[in-house]
């Protein structure tokens, strides 16, 4: 999500987005993938758990999960690198080790980790792209899940294997299942960016469709806010 892309002409953005959507269509994008066969049990009491997801520009990932029932908070930030380099202008260079990420805090009594993963792989990003997502390229846009413990890792590993065995994508899944990493919240200007800038051409082309797909494909989990 280099700063320069915010001033790219709309026509150029449209060409980039068209290529992305065509590639996703060939791979069966915007369809509900199988539900995880392995999941954590639904909690009997309200509580809070977190998982850190990376899949391209954090604006879009955050926008999707802010609309998921049971998600208490979705925060854009950086994971995978050090505190010294957890700044947008440095992460954008692609050599800090950080991935643009979203910390998803959820109530396990309302939504399970498996359901969040199903949404992540179905509508939030293309997990087969390596070090890129749509028009954005670089290691900071890699697909990754930073698990917070052995139980989460078991669910994530099982779901990736399940999707690979089902051959739901035309290419191998590139998602990195990463160990716990310190999450550094991004600057205030990046929080809730899609909702605050709905007419930004980048948001209209790349991120708004993800929220639309969430509403259409997961109506029981979608909330408008």
CATH at residue 209? 3.30.1060.10
Our CA dihedral for 49, 51, 154, 112, rounded to 10 degrees, sits at 50
Q: What is the pLDDT along the chain (225 residues), one digit of tens a residue?
A: 443 343 334 444 443 443 343 334 333 457 899 999 999 999 999 999 999 999 999 999 999 999 999 999 999 999 999 999 999 999 999 999 999 999 999 999 999 999 999 999 999 999 999 999 989 999 999 999 999 999 999 999 999 999 999 999 999 999 999 999 999 999 999 999 999 999 999 999 999 999 999 999 999 999 997
Structural domains of the chain, count: 1
* Domain assignment of residue 148, yes or no: yes
Q: CA-to-CA distance for 48 and 68, rounded, in angstroms? A: 15
Is residue 225 situated within a structural domain? Answer: no
Domain for residue 168, yes or no? yes
Q: Please check whether residue 59 is in contact with residue 124, taking contact to mean a CB–CB distance below 8 angstroms.
A: no
| Residues 6+ positions from 188 with CB-CB distance below 8 Å | none
Quick one: pLDDT at residue 192? Answer: 98
Structural domain for 29, as ranges? 3-217
Return the pLDDT at 24. 41
The pLDDT score that the predictor gives to residue 93 is 95
Q: What is the pLDDT of residue 225?
A: 78
Yes or no: say if 124 and 74 are a contact pair by the CB < 8 Å rule. no
Would residue 109 count as lying in a domain? yes
Q: Which helix (H) or strand (E) covers residue 143, if one does?
A: strand 143-146
Residue 142 lies in a domain: yes
Would you say residue 224 lies in a domain?
A: no
CA dihedral 83, 84, 85, 87 (to 10 degrees): 80
User: Does any domain span residue 127?
Assistant: yes
- 223 is a domain residue: no
Nearest to 74 by CA among 83, 87, 64, 82: 64
Contacts (Cβ under 8 Å, ≥6 apart) of 33? 118, 121, 122, 163, 168
Alpha helices in 29-149 (DSSP H): 58-65, 88-91, 113-119
Active site members = 57
pLDDT of residue 31: 87
């Amino acid at each position: 999500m280099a700063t320069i892309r915010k001033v790219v002409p709309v026509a150029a953005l449209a060409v980039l987005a068209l290529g992305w959507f065509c590639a996703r269509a060939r791979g069966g994008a915007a369809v509900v993938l199988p539900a995880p066969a392995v999941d954590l049990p639904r909690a009997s009491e309200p509580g809070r758990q977190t998982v850190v997801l990376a899949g391209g520009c954090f604006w879009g990932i955050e926008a999707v999960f802010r609309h998921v029932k049971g998600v208490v908070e979705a925060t854009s930030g950086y994971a995978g690198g050090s505190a010294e380099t957890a700044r947008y202008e440095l992460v954008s260079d692609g050599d800090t080790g950080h991935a643009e990420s979203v910390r998803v805090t959820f109530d396990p009594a309302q939504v399970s980790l498996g359901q969040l993963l199903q949404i992540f792989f179905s509508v939030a990003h293309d997990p087969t792209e390596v070090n890129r997502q749509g028009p954005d390229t670089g290691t900071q846009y890699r697909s990754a899940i930073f698990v917070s413990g052995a139980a989460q890792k078991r669910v994530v590993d099982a779901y990736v294997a399940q999707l690979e065995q089902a051959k739901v994508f035309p290419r191998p899944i590139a998602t990195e299942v990463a160990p716990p990493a310190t999450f550094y919240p991004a600057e205030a200007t990046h929080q809730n960016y899609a909702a605050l800038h709905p007419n930004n051409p980048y948001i209209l082309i790349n991120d708004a469709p993800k929220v639309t797909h969430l509403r259409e494909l997961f109506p029981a989990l979608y909330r408008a806010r």
